[in-house]
Amino acid sequence: MSDPSLTPELIEERLALLRAAFAERTDREVRIVGVTKRHPVPVIAMALDAGLVDLAENYAQELRAKAAELGSAAAGTGPVRWHFIGQLQSNKVRLIADDVSCWQSVDRGGVAEQIARRHPSATVMVQLDLAGIPGRGGCPPGEAAALVDRCRSLDLDVVGLMGVGAPGTADEARPGFRTLVSLADELGLPERSIGMSGDALAAVEEGSTMVRLGSALFGPRPAG
Ligand SMILES: *Cc1c(COP(=O)(O)O)cnc(C)c1O
């Protein structure tokens, strides 16, 4: 179960504290994407009430179900800008092609091709594997330039790079963040989607333009 004491006001307070902490560390604008995976639709409604517009999910079926529920039930809420951040199977792209605003987890050519077919000119990010852990998603940094080229040749709008910090302390995630930021610079990509609840401040110090926050905003995730 999600934290029963969660309210839109509590989310707003947490957002204000986080924004202040980011502003102490950078002049850049850092966009906050709320990660709502495993939280039910009422938590999403609170996030929208608190002023969040960018929300992210990891599983295609879960995103589709929530988007459908919000579309029918939440006439009073503003539109959600959905980011897809999970490991993407090519055969799931079609299911959520009408829902997703930004595909953050493009890590191979086959997925890019499916997105280009189902969602022409889509906004995408290339996900890098920053920890060197195969099977967890992300392409090796050395292959990023070729994948970015492939996406561009498919007429996808590549806006940045995304990565999950290496496991361990926030400081242990910094070298990976630096790799991602310097690659984004080299490739001319403005967005760097790095930083989660445990390492957002380090990521902002290293050059993040977008943090993906779940537990820092909504508390622990329900099991499942
Ligand atoms: C779950 C998840 C997040 C958010 O994690 P928190 O630690 O709860 O902030 C961010 N990015 C990705 C890719 C995730 O899977």
Q: How many domains, the chain?
A: 1
Among 196, 204, 208, 213, residue to substitute to test ligand 1 (most atoms within 8 Å of Cβ) = 196
Does residue 224 lie within any of the structural domains? Answer: no
Does residue 156 lie within any of the structural domains? Answer: yes
Does residue 3 lie within any of the structural domains? Answer: no
Atom 8 in ligand 1: residue holding the nearest Cα: 214
Q: Report d(CA 194, CA 187) in Å as an integer.
A: 17
Q: What is the pLDDT of residue 176?
A: 97
What are the tens digits of pLDDT across the range 130-171? 998 877 899 999 999 999 999 999 999 999 999 999 999 999
Does residue 222 lie within any of the structural domains? Answer: no
CA distances from 105 to 21, 72, 78, 136 (A): 27, 27, 25, 11
> What global pTM score does this model have?
0.96
Among 3, 85, 133, residue to substitute to test ligand 1 (most atoms within 8 Å of Cβ) = 85
What is the CA(196)–ligand 1 centre distance, in A? 6
CA distances from 200 to 82, 98, 110, 193 (A): 20, 30, 31, 10
Residue 52 is part of which domain span? 8-217
Does residue 2 lie within any of the structural domains? Answer: no
Structure tokens at 103: 């595909």
**Amino acid letter, residue 136:** R
What are the tens digits of pLDDT across the range 82-93? 999 999 999 999
Kindly state the helix (H) or strand (E) to which residue 211 belongs, with its residue range: strand 210-213
CATH number at residue 121: 3.20.20.10
Q: What is the pLDDT of residue 79?
A: 79
Q: What is the pLDDT of residue 113?
A: 98
Q: Report d(CA 123, CA 159) in Å as an integer.
A: 7
Q: Report d(CA 217, CA 78) in Å as an integer.
A: 19
Q: What is the pLDDT of residue 73?
A: 57
**Amino acid letter, residue 53:** V
Atom 10 in ligand 1: residue holding the nearest Cα: 212
Does residue 88 lie within any of the structural domains? Answer: yes
What is the CA(166)–ligand 1 centre distance, in A? 13
Q: Report d(CA 87, CA 107) in Å as an integer.
A: 9
What is the CA(154)–ligand 1 centre distance, in A? 28
Instruction: Point out the ligand 1 atom lying closest to the alpha carbon of residue 215.
Output: 8
Residues in the chain with pLDDT < 70?
Answer: 72-78
The rounded Cα 12 to chain-centroid distance in angstroms is 19
For the chain, the first-to-last Cα distance in angstroms comes to: 10
State the DSSP code for 199.
Answer: T
Q: Which residues line ligand 1 (CB under 6 A)?
A: 35, 37, 58, 85, 164, 196-198, 212-216
What is the CA(155)–ligand 1 centre distance, in A? 28
What is the CA(83)–ligand 1 centre distance, in A? 12
Among 35, 43, 103, 105, residue to substitute to test ligand 1 (most atoms within 8 Å of Cβ) = 35
Instruction: Point out the ligand 1 atom lying closest to the alpha carbon of residue 196.
Output: 9
User: In terms of residues, how long is the chain?
Assistant: 224
Cβ atoms within 10 Å, residue 223 = 6
CA distances from 37 to 60, 82, 115 (A): 11, 12, 22
Q: What is the pLDDT of residue 27?
A: 97
Residue 103: beta bridge partners? 84, 124
Instruction: Point out the ligand 1 atom lying closest to the alpha carbon of residue 216.
Output: 9
